[in-house]
Amino acid sequence: MGAVSTTFMAGVELVRKGKAQPVGSLTQLGTIRLGKRTDNNSPRIKELVPLAELDDLVFGGWDVFKDNAYEAASHAGVLSKEDLAKVKPFLSKIKPMKAAFDKEYVKKLEGTYVKKAKNKYELALKIKEDIANFRKTSRATRLVTCWCASTEVFIKPEDVHSTPEKFIEGMKKNHPAIAPSMLYAWASVTSGVPFANGAPNLTVDIPAMQKLALDHNVAVCGKDFKTGQTLIKTVLAPAFKARMLGLDGWYSTNILGNRDGEVLDDPGSFKTKEESKLGALEYILQPQLYPQLYGKIHHKVRINYYPPRGDNKEGWDNIDIFGWLNYKMQIKVDFLCRDSILAAPIVLDLVLFLDLAQRAGFRGIQEWLSFYFKSPMTGPELYPEHDLFIQSMKLKNTLRWMMGKELITHLGQEYYD
């Protein structure tokens, strides 16, 4: 029930009441071209594929604090008092379930509204009970879980993550490599509920969880919402490579003052986020193919907790590039963004697209949703695609293919035959 979740829920309700526009949401505002350019056929995405309607959505969740969604949103300080007042009755009714929380994984938080159990397996079973109870009390026919909680400490894959059986045994023995987010993922997937991971944690991207997703016919995707600085990075880096411009260095720093910033002030949680933010450039630029252009990049990422900034994160980038005859150039980007305002429509799109995927019979990793993530999940032996424009094409072609429409290749030769 933190900043992202409450901004998402409040925003959906404001849109439903006709008091706001769903800016940033592909499912609500995006169009998709069908056929040739000369056909002038570009319906809304939601007119092509059978997405759930906003009026069909109901909300529930967990938190380490007892605040209802209105109180949590007020504390987060993202939305104005005027906007929150318009949805206060709605948000006040959304009360969190007790969280499965362990301070070892998020050292900067003091959870006060937490579940008790003798081991992690029992905690996971309690989350499954929550899911079953929510399905019953909300009268929802279909569910989707989206992790919008804090970044956990850095964990490397271990043998306990390799199979469902070893994972269950690890939960029973309170294995330290099993983080709380994994308990939510296990509970969701084994309940037949699609799961999206919006943080950089090792969560659903482990062999045990992916096997369970296939066994239970569940769609999963992740990880780490691509909102501010990395969004810009996945736009600019493809431009450099497309024009064969070289890159000497890319220095990225962030300042933010919300709970996310506080959590990332811990070195363990920062390490998890750093790995996620560092990955995109290497995959986009492919230094192994272009060593003279990208073989010696100095890539630095810093995140600084600065309370006065609140949720209004500032992402500052200094980019040192070189062009013809190795002459040096620089680009500076200062993105004064609003973290949760950028993340909320991503949550909406992921919920609706995952529900669509589930109904379409898709299971396992949904790579076509890479568009929304800093560290997109892929199948074994596949490198992730980070180029935002290729990701966009993959997403829209998947929707065309799903509906039996002709794929768009952008070849364009048919216009000149």
What confidence tier does 276 reach under pLDDT thresholds 50, 70, 90?
Answer: low
pTM of the model: 0.94
Q: How far apart, in whole angstroms, are the C-alpha atoms of residue 220 and residue 207?
A: 12
Q: How far apart, in whole angstroms, are the C-alpha atoms of residue 260 and residue 339?
A: 10
The model's pLDDT over 376-416, given as tens digits with 9 standing for 90+, comes to: 999 988 999 999 999 999 999 999 999 999 999 888 888 89
The model's pLDDT over 191-238, given as tens digits with 9 standing for 90+, comes to: 999 999 999 999 999 999 999 999 999 999 999 999 988 999 999 999
User: Closest Cα partner for 107 from 154, 44, 173, 156?
Assistant: 154
- The edge-to-edge listing of strands for the beta sheet with 219-222 is 145-147, 195-197, 219-222, 364-365
Q: How far apart, in whole angstroms, are the C-alpha atoms of residue 297 and residue 319?
A: 10
Q: Distance of CA 276 to CAs 202, 365, 384, Å? A: 11, 18, 12
Which residues partner with 328 through β-bridges?
322
pLDDT of 311: 81
